[in-house]
Amino acid sequence: AKVRRDELQPEHFAAWLDWAKQGGHGLDFNPTCFSHPLAADGMTLAHPDPGIRRFWIDHCIACRRIGAHFGQALGTPCITNIWIPDGTKDNPVDRLGPRMRLRESLDAILAEPLDPTHNRDAVEAKLFGIGSESYVVGSHEFYLGYAINRPGLILCLDTGHFHPTELVSDKISAVLLYIDEILLHVSRGVRWDSDHVVTLSDETQAIMHEIVRGGFLQRTHIGLDFFDASINRIAAWTIGARNTLRALLLALLEPTDRLRDLELAGDTTARLALLEELKGMPWGAVWDMYCHRHDVPVGASFLNEVRRYETEVLAARAL
């Protein structure tokens, strides 16, 4: 039987919990404020209709409780991340009103105190989307201000949710001056589409360097947020995850203290020379040894495992 989104309970996700327990995994969660008749006009938590707004508030409250159940059962906190699509295709007259309603909705959602060892709350911004090209209620500035004024709330930075000329790597040190923790959604934006498989790009590397250089490892939750149905999805997940880990490895291998000393001394010539030399260092050998020690495929041999899974597991599901 179908269950209304505002009536969801932990038992509806028992299979998720069983899977996580079997594999020794934690689980994160999020409300689904889209693909629903009450989201058809592009507004949910900021909707002018109090009844519709209440439906989505109750949905988010239910999701927080499910997240807390996950965290308690698995012994590791669940991050329940709130993202909404609210916005307008053309320029609105009233930009303030929807943001006031969103703030009020978030206050109602987060009013119930939950044990932070079970559930952590996060909020996620976006610059624009399909149907909200001109105005998004939950902008970066909105959520940054909200997170600063609500201690313990995590701010999510998605690498595909900003203008192509904006860099999440440049935002990390700025926002962590004012909030305790951030959640990263490592993705790859291509023009208007924000969810391409992560590559070992300059920005992926810059993000991980910024986390390591700033001493932010304990204050940053690194999550991946991408999908690509045009390729094998297990391969997509593996490629993206391995590239994220490789970028982090590169940052951890960097002689940051030496580079910082050169910078403080004003020796920008030596800084540039060393940074360029690092690009040719044989870090790939370290990565291969890391994979070997963790008994996972080295190099592109992971594709053999993907093909085996595709043949033995995925193909059977189609029968």
CATH number at residue 59: 3.20.20.150
Q: Note whether residue 305 is domain-resident.
A: no
Task: Please tell me the predicted confidence (pLDDT) of residue 319.
Answer: 66
How many distinct structural domains can be found in the chain?
Answer: 1
Residues 6+ apart with CB under 8 A from 27: 16, 17, 20, 70, 74, 78
Would 269 be classed as within a structural domain?
no
Catalytic residue numbers read: 83, 124, 126, 158, 161, 185, 193, 195, 225
Whole-prediction pTM = 0.94
b/e map 164-203, b = 16+ CB within 10 Å? eeebbbebbeebbeebebbbbbbbbbeeeebbbbbeeeeb
In a domain, 78, yes or no: yes
Supply the range of the domain harboring residue 185: 5-259
> Per residue of the chain (319 residues), what is the pLDDT tens digit?
799 999 999 999 999 999 999 999 999 999 999 999 999 999 999 999 999 999 999 999 999 999 999 999 999 999 999 999 999 999 999 999 999 999 999 999 999 999 999 999 999 999 888 889 999 999 999 999 999 999 999 999 999 999 888 999 999 999 999 999 999 999 998 877 778 999 999 999 999 999 999 999 999 999 999 888 888 888 999 999 999 999 999 999 999 999 999 999 999 999 999 999 999 999 999 999 999 999 999 999 999 999 998 888 888 877 6
Domain-embedded: residue 79 = yes
Asked whether residue 138 is domain-assigned, the answer is: yes
Q: Has residue 302 been placed in a domain?
A: no
H runs (alpha helix) in the chain: 14-23, 50-74, 96-109, 140-148, 168-175, 202-213, 233-253, 256-264, 268-278, 283-293, 302-309, 315-317
Evaluate whether residue 58 is within a structural domain: yes
In a domain, 46, yes or no: yes
- CA–CA dist 164, 141 (Å, integer): 17
